[in-house]
Amino acid sequence: MGFFFLRETYAPVILAKKLEKVSSEEENGKKYTFAGQDDRPLRQKLWSSLKRPLRILFTQPIVLTMAAYQAIIFATMYSLFTNLQEIFSSKPYNFSTTQVGLLYLAPGIGFLIAVWFIVPQIDKVFNKKTKENGGEEKPEYRLPLANIGAVLLPISMFSFAWTVEYHVHWFPTILSTTFYGIGQVAIFNTVQNYYIDAFAQYAASAIAAGAVFRSVIGGVIPLLARPLFDKLGYGWGWSVFGFLTLMLSPSPLLFQRYGETLRKKFAIEL
């Protein structure tokens, strides 16, 4: 539906079409071009576009690290979604299917809280830091609010792990998933904004690289979660996810400090 009804917004394509129209209207048949115009055959352009996300993913340390971070976050969330029924329908909770279904509102509320109160601040923080830097914009200015997620994710995961293990009342257990939802959106949105600023016209390729990576990891790990919980129990089993998010939690802070240096050191021609 989008292919047929969405209008083109990619500037180089729009400009190329306009120049083609102008060229066809010229009596002398002169063909106009613009700087950076890609005149390669469609096959070559397609192949280049398919390779670009992988090149970005595996040559840019920031993209690879943050894609891994998002992958762990997605894998944890999907593992949570697929195991809530098993956890809360058994003793001591004995929830009905309807009651278990209502538990999914908790992370959803976390998503909404983040969308309402954190996401709108990303631009404000970016503009403030840009102003403090004499008007010079840097993609790293998108990352400060990711630190909220970096703190909330491991705390909420460890809380969920051990309240489930010791059969604590369901409310604090489920409340921890609300904070996990807040942390997930905080990380996800700041990183997406970083990709857009860091890769400009190739932002879609950077986003695609992260999306494919996190989707593959996020799809595979939940298949392994059940055997993990059977072997380690819910306490240490869910703590594995907590330790993974804890291990990656310094990433936003480090990339705020050293991101520009890394971008210049690992710069590639796309």
Q: What mean pLDDT comes out for the span 164-171?
A: 94
In the chain, what is the straight-line distance between the N-terminal and C-terminal CA atoms, in Å? 30
Above 90 in pLDDT, residue 81? yes
Amino acid type, 225:
A
pLDDT tens digits along 185-203: 999 999 999 999 998 878 8
Nearest to 72 by CA among 150, 170, 10: 150
Distances (CA, A) of 85 to 75, 76, 158, 253: 17, 15, 19, 36
pLDDT of residue 167: 93
pLDDT of residue 34: 61
pLDDT of residue 35: 62
> Binning pLDDT at 50, 70 and 90, where does residue 86 land?
very high
pLDDT of residue 47: 85
Amino acid type, 110:
G
Domains of the chain listed by start with CATH number: 2-39 (no CATH), 45-265 (1.20.1250.20)
pLDDT of residue 25: 64
Quick one: what percent of the chain has pLDDT higher than 90?
71
Quick one: what percent of the chain has pLDDT higher than 70?
94
Q: Which of 43-47, 135-139, 184-188 has the lowest mean pLDDT?
A: 43-47
Q: What are phi and psi of 185, to 5 degrees?
A: -65, -40
Q: Given phi > 0 = left and psi -120 to 50 = alpha, else beta, which region is 94?
A: left
Q: What mean pLDDT comes out for the span 4-20?
A: 83
Asked if residues 85 and 199 have their Cβ atoms less than 8 Å apart, the reply is: no
Q: Which residues contact 214 (CB under 8 A, 6 or more apart)?
A: 67, 70, 71, 73, 74
> Binning pLDDT at 50, 70 and 90, where does residue 49 land?
confident
Above 90 in pLDDT, residue 12? no
What is the 3-state secondary structure of 23-92? HHHCCCCCCCCCCCCCCCCHHHHHHHHHHHHHHHHHHCHHHHHHHHHHHHHHHHHHHHHHHHHHHHCCCC
pLDDT of residue 33: 63
Upper half-sphere CA count for residue 122 (Cβ side, 13 Å) = 24
Q: Which residues contact 92 (CB under 8 A, 6 or more apart)?
A: 167
> Binning pLDDT at 50, 70 and 90, where does residue 37 land?
low
Q: Given phi > 0 = left and psi -120 to 50 = alpha, else beta, which region is 30?
A: beta
Above 70 in pLDDT, residue 28? no
pLDDT of residue 95: 95
pLDDT of residue 73: 94
Nearest to 172 by CA among 118, 220, 103: 103
pLDDT of residue 2: 85
